[in-house]
Structures are given as structure tokens and as C-alpha cells.
Amino acid sequence: MKISSRGGFTLVEMIIVLGIIGILLAVTLPSLQREIGAYRHERAARQMVADIKLLQQKALLESSAYYLINLYAADQGDFYQLKDTKKNTILKTVRLPPNVQFLQRSGLSLPIGAGGSINSGAGLTIGIQQKELNKKYYVVISRVSRVRLSEVKPDENE
């Protein structure tokens, strides 16, 4: 009688491999979720900087002072809006990701002047925080209306 040897895996081997994969997933999933949250937080801050620069460019191109950025802190999620006040239209509404919020909990309006100056050149810092990790980014608008992103809160004199 001939005994045939067939290649393949036994059921026990498959269960062991699936168990190992399950353990690896259980260990790595929380850190992966943290990294995704951190990425969304940074992306939201960078998007805000890009949106502010976009309105500055529009104001310069059109030589108009009809643009405004409004920040809103809301229970169901913080957001900001880009507005064209001359046409009385909202150009864009951007919601911050879950667990990301503005540090300033009251509404804030940033007018953009015809020369691209923001907030009449007064300088301003907008803090954006991820609640879970307590990580903060700062959108820094200098007195000469340069806009940048920082992980460190700038000096008041900057």
C-alpha cells in the first residue's frame, strides 16, 4: 500500500498562525490609531495655514479687503470658515478632525486686508490641540502677516 504525502498545512498550524497574527494586531492597533490621530491633527493645522495663505493671495490679486476667516468652537466639533464679505458668500468650511480643537474657545475673526495683511498687522497665534495626546500646533501670524506653523508657542514679542 502506498502512502501519499500531501503538502499543506494542518488545521492546528493554521490556528496557531492566526493566533499569532491576532496578538500582533492587538499590540500594534492602539499605536497605529494614535499615529493616525497625530497625522490628522498636523494635517488640519497645515491646511489652516494653506487656507490663510490662499486668502492672502486672493486679497493681493484682487486688491480687496473683503476676505475674512472665522473660527468657531462648537460642542460637535470645531471648524473655521473662509468668507468673501463683498459677495457675502462662504468660500469654504473646514471641520477639525475628531479630538482636535482650537485652544481659544470663543469665536475669532481674522480680516484680511487689501495688501494681504491679517488682523491689521497686529500679529496673532492660533493654537490647535489634540485632546488625547495633549499635542499642540500653533498657527503663527506675524506682525508683517507671515503665516507659519510651529510646535512651540512663540514669544508674545514675535
Length of the chain (residues)? 158
Domains of the chain: 35-150 (3.55.40.10)
Residues near 133 by beta carbon (within 8 Å), at least 6 away in sequence: 34, 37, 38, 41
For the stretch 111-136, pLDDT in tens is 998 888 887 778 889 999 998 888 89
For the stretch 72-111, pLDDT in tens is 988 889 999 999 988 999 999 999 998 899 998 778 889 9
Round to whole Å and give the CA distance between 93 and 71.
Answer: 10
Round to whole Å and give the CA distance between 60 and 42.
Answer: 27
Tell me which DSSP letter residue 63 carries: T
The predicted model gives 6-23 an average pLDDT of: 91
51: pLDDT strictly greater than 80: yes
Q: Indicate the pTM of the whole model.
A: 0.80
Round to whole Å and give the CA distance between 22 and 56.
Answer: 50
The predicted model gives 47-69 an average pLDDT of: 91
Q: Report the chain's C-alpha Rg in angstroms.
A: 25
Across the chain, mean pLDDT equals 88
Q: Which three cell numbers stand for residue 13?
A: 498550524
The predicted model gives 65-78 an average pLDDT of: 89
Q: Which three cell numbers stand for residue 131?
A: 485632546
